[in-house]
Structure 1
Amino acid sequence: VDTDDLDALIREFSRLGETHEIAGITGFSGDDESIYATVSKLCRHFNLPGPDPISIEQCHDKFAQRQLLSDSGIPIPAYRLAANMADVESSAAEIGLPVIVKPAVGSGSMGVRLCRDLDELAKHTTYMLGGQHKWRSSPRVLVEEFAEGPYYWADTMGDQIIGIGTADYGPPPHFVCRACTIPAPLTDDEHKRIADISLSCLRALGLGWGPAGIEFRWTNRGPVVIEVNPRLHGAPTPQLIELAWGIDLVTEHIKLAIGEETDLRRRHSHIAAARYLVADRDGVLERITRAGLKPSEPGVAEVKFYVEPKAPIIRKGDYRDWIGHVLVASPSHAQSEAILQRAVDSLHWSI
C-alpha cells in the first residue's frame, strides 16, 4: 500500500479489521518523517493509542516548530523562511554569515549545509531549489544562525527524560555524525538545564504522548534547541540506551502503541558509545577486514557494516555516508572510549 495515501491505508486497515483485532499502529522511516504523521492520523481514525496528529504535523514542519518554540521563549537559533534565491540572500544578510541552509521539511541531515560565504550560499540554494534536491513537499528552505558548540540530545518518553547523550560531527560544511556517547558527561546543573528545556519543548509542541528526541548545541548562551523529533531517534540510539540502562525503548514504544503500561526503570548504569564508520571518498568498497577483533571482545556489543564488498560508494554529506558502526559499553567513559578505539583500529576497509 502506498504509505503516502492515507485513504488507501484506511481501507487496508479496515479490511484487516474485519478478520483481525488491530492492537496498535506505529511506524517510522529514516528519510521520510511524514510516515509518523500518517501513523498519528491512522491511530486517531481507528481510536487507537497514538500521538496527536496536529502536534506531529506542526513538529514535522521545522518552520512551524521554530515559531512554536520561539513563542514559548525557548532558546533557538535566529531563523528565516525562504522560497527563492532572493529570500535566501536577504535572510543570510539579516542573520549574518555563516548560516545553515536546510529544508523546512526533512530528516537525516539531508540537504543541511553550512554556507560560509556568498558563493557557497548561492551554490547550495541552487541545488536545493533548482530541482536536484528531492522534495516531499513544496520547496521551502530555512536559513538559520549557525549555533556553534558541543552537541547534545535528550531522549524522552511521554513527559519523562530517558537520558541525555552527546555526539561529535565531521567537518563542515556537512553534518555527518561520527560518534556518540550516552550518558553525556555533564554536571548536575548542565543536566538540569537540558532536561528543563527538553520538557518545555514537549509542552510547547504538544508532545505529551510517546517518544521524542530533542537536539541541542551548547553555545555561549547555554543550550540552544536545534530541532525536536516527535519519534524515537533512529538506530543505533535505542540500542545505546539499552546498553546504558537496560531500557528497551523500541519494546516500550510498542507497548505504548498497543495500550499497555510501559516500564522505563533503569536496570543498570553503564557508559554506551558508538563510532560510525564513514566513507572518506567515492568509489567501490573493495574489502572489509576485522584484524584481531574477536566476536566476544569484552565490552564490544556490536560491529555492523551496512554495505557489502563491491558496493558503490557515493557520498551525500548526510547519514547515508555511514558504512557501518561499532557499539560498546562499560562502567566508565574512559574505559568505553578505550574499548571503542581498539575495536575501530582493528577494522580496515578500502574504497
Structure 2
Amino acid sequence: MARRVLILIEGASNTLLSVQAAQRLGLHPIALAADPTQYDYFAAEGVEAIRVDTDNLDELIRECSRLRVTYDIAGIVGFPNPSESVNATVGKLCRYFDLPGPNPTSIQRCCDKFTQRQLLAEAGVPLPAYRVAANATEVESSAAEIGLPVIVKPAVGSGSSGVRLCRNVNELAEHTTHLLGGKHIWRSSPRILVEEFAQGPHYSIDIMGNEVVGIGALDFCRPPHFVYREFTYPAVLADDKHNRIADVSLSCLRALGLGWGPTNVELRWTKRGPVVIEVNPRLPGSPAPQLVQLAYGVDLVTEHIKLVIGDEWNLRGSNSQTAVARWLVADRDGTLDWIGGDSRAAAVSGVAEVKFYVGPKTPIVRKGDCRDCIGHVIAASPSPARTKAILQRAVDLIDWSIIPFPAEKEQSASPHLHTSAQVKSDDRQT
C-alpha cells in the first residue's frame, strides 16, 4: 500500500505545527518550497523537502503528479500561517487532484481588501467608511471625504505591512510617499485603501467551517503603526456582545462565499457596535492556534488537517483557561548583540512557550509591522489575573541588547539594554 502523505505548500516561515500534526495523524509530510534550506528543522522532523517554484501553478501540478506515482496524496495545505494567495493556489491544486479544499475563487476575492469590502458592504456587514486610491491626489481627497484620522494601507497585503494611522495631513503625505515612492514592494499596480479609523477594542474570531471556535482580544503597541503587543483568549465579553460578534463574523462567510475550513475575522467594537476590519480565509498566524488550544482545548491545526484529508473533525473543547501571549518587540534599530532569559522564563510555572524569532548578530530594522516582533511568551491558567501575573513575571526575566548601527553611534555610543522596567513603561503607554 502506498504511503499516505500530506503536501505542504510554502506560504510562510512556520511549518512546525502542521508537520507535527500530520505526523500525529500518521501522515508523511512533504514540503514544497522555493528554498527548503531556510527551514532548518526539516531534517530533525523527518520532513521530505522538494525545491519548487511555489508561484508557478503548473510546476506545482507537475510535482504533485510526480509524487502521486509513488505516494497516496491524502491532502494539500499551505504552511501556517499561509497567505491568502497561497491558499488560493492550494484550492486550485485540490480541485485539480479532486481533493477536499477551499474555493479558490472565494479566497482570491478576499485577497483584495477593496473587493472584500465591496462584497461585505453589499451584504450589509458593518464596515468602516472606505475609499480606494491610485495616487497621492486620490489619497488626499479620500481622506478629506472620510475625515481624519484615517487608516492608510495597501489594498493587497498582510501582517500589517504598510498599514498606518494618519492623524493629520503631514502624516498622510509622509505615508503616501512611503507607499508610492518605491519603499513599499507592490506585486501589482499600486492601489491604496483609505478608511475610517474604527476606534474600540480589537477582536479576533476563529471559525472552522461555520462554527465559531473562539474569540480573542488583540492589543497593539503605540500608534501610528499596528505592531502586535498582547493576545488574550478568551476575550472577556458579555453574552450579548459575544453573540453579536459571532453573528457578524458568520455573516462575513455568507457574503464572501466562505465556510469551508478555517476563517479568521478581525473587527473592532465601536460606538455603533461591531465593525469588521478584515476577513482572512485561513488559519490565524502563530501563536493564535496555541492560545486557542490552551484556552478551549481545540487544536485548530490538527482539525484543519483532518478536514483536508477527509476525516471527521472534532471542535468540542475540553479546556477552560485564560491564555495570553505577549510579543517581544524591538525597541530600536541596530544589531542584536544578545538576547537571553528564555530558559528562566520558560521555567516559570504556567508558562507554555517562550520563543525567540531571531538570534544574536541579527540586524534589526523596524518596519512598523509584525516583523518588529522578535519573540513571544505564552502563559495560561484558570484565572485571568493569575495568567497576567505569570506572563509579566516571565517577560521580566527576558533581556536583550541592541547595538546601534554605525551611523547612529555618534548619538549613542553604548548598546541599548532592554530591561523589565522598559517593558512596564511600554505597558503603561499602550
TM-score by length of 2: 0.79
CA separation in 2, counterparts of 1:295 and 1:198?
35
Q: Could you say which residue in structure 1 is the equivalent of 2:189? A: 138
RMSD in angstroms over aligned alpha carbons? 1.4
What's the counterpart of residue 235 of structure 2? 184
Note the 1:219-234 alignment, pairs <5 A: 219-234=270-285
- Describe the superposition over 1:31-59 as per-residue Cα deviations: whole angstroms up to 9, x where unpaired: 84311111111111111101111110111
CA distance in 2, matches of 1:178, 1:83: 31
Superposed counterparts of 1:261-276, under 5 Å: 261-276=312-327
Per the TM alignment, residue 249 of structure 1 is displaced from its structure 2 partner at its CA by 0.7
* 1:45 equivalenced with 2:102 (yes/no): no
Offset at residue 29 of structure 1 (A): 6.3
Does the Cα contact within 8 Å between 1:31 and 1:106 map onto a contact in 2? Answer: no
- Change in Cα spacing, 1:292 to 1:139, as seen in structure 2 (3 Å) is closer
Q: Does 1:105 find its partner at 2:161? A: no
From 124, 127, 144, the counterpart of 1:76: 127
Q: Deviations over 1:173-212 (max 9, x none)?
A: 1000100100001001110010110111111111110001
One-letter amino acid of the counterpart of residue 263, structure 1: N
1:235 paired residue number: 286
What residue in structure 1 maps to residue 108 of structure 2?
A: 57
CA contact under 8 A between 1:217 and 1:225: conserved in structure 2? yes
Distance in 2, Cα, partners of 1:69 & 1:137: 23
What pairs with 1:197-208 in structure 2 (closer than 5 Å)? 197-208=248-259
**Correspondence for 1:213 among 243, 246, 264:** 264
1:300-319 mapped onto 2 (5 Å cutoff) = 300-319=351-370
AA paired with 2:218? A
Pairing 1:12–2:40 present:
no
Distance 1:284 1:69, change over 3 A: same
Q: Cα deviation per residue 1:15-34 (whole Å; 9 max; x = unaligned)?
A: 22222221111104658431
Bigger CA radius of gyration: 2
Secondary structure of the residue that 1:25 maps to in structure 2?
strand
Which stretch of the first structure deviates more once superposed, 287-296 or 123-132? 287-296
**Correspondent of 2:200 among 149, 168, 176:** 149
Q: Deviations over 1:161-181 (max 9, x none)?
A: 000000110111100010010
1:179–1:276 contact (8 Å) kept in structure 2: yes
Relative CO higher for 1 or 2, CA cutoff 8 Å, sep ≥ 6? 1
Give, in angstroms, the shift of residue 292 of structure 1. 8.8
The 5 A counterparts of 1:168-179 are: 168-179=219-230
Measured against aligned partners, the alpha-carbon deviations of 1:246-292 in whole angstroms (never above 9, x if no partner) come to 21111111111111111111112111000000001001112223299
Q: 1:279 aligned to 2:330? A: yes
**Residues 94 and 117 of structure 1: CA distance in aligned 2, closer, same or farther (over 3 Å):** same
Matched residue SS, 2:278: strand
Q: Is the 8 A contact 2:81 2:286 kept in 1?
A: no
Please tell me whether the aligned partners of residues 199 and 270 of structure 2 are also in contact (alpha carbons under 8 angstroms): yes
CA distance, structure 1, for counterparts of residue 328 and residue 202 of structure 2: 19
Are residues 288 and 22 of structure 1, via their aligned partners in 2, closer, same or farther at CA, if it must alter by over 3 Å?
same
Match of 1:36 among 82, 87, 91: 87
Unaligned runs of 5+ in 2: 1-51, 403-430
2:334 maps to amino acid: G
d(CA) in 2 for partners of 1:203 and 1:212?
A: 12
Would the alpha carbon gap of residues 29 and 160 (structure 1) be closer, same or farther in structure 2, given more than 3 Å must change?
A: closer
Alpha-carbon separation, structure 1, partners of 2:172 and 2:152: 8
The 10-residue stretch of structure 1 (190-199 or 280-289) with the greater mean CA deviation from structure 2: 280-289
Partner Cα distance (2:273, 2:76) in 1: 38
Using the size of structure 1 for normalisation, the TM-score is 0.97
What's the % identity of the aligned pairs?
A: 67
SS of match in other structure, 2:78:
coil
2-side partners of 1:332 and 1:137: how far apart?
A: 48
SS in 2 for 1:24: strand
1:307–1:324 contact (8 Å) kept in structure 2: yes
1:285-308 Cα distance to aligned partner (Å, 9 max, x none) = 122232993644211001111111
Contact map agreement 1:31 1:108 (CA 8 A) in 2: no
| Aligned with residue 329 of structure 1, among 377, 380, 383 | 380
Moved over 6 A (4+): none
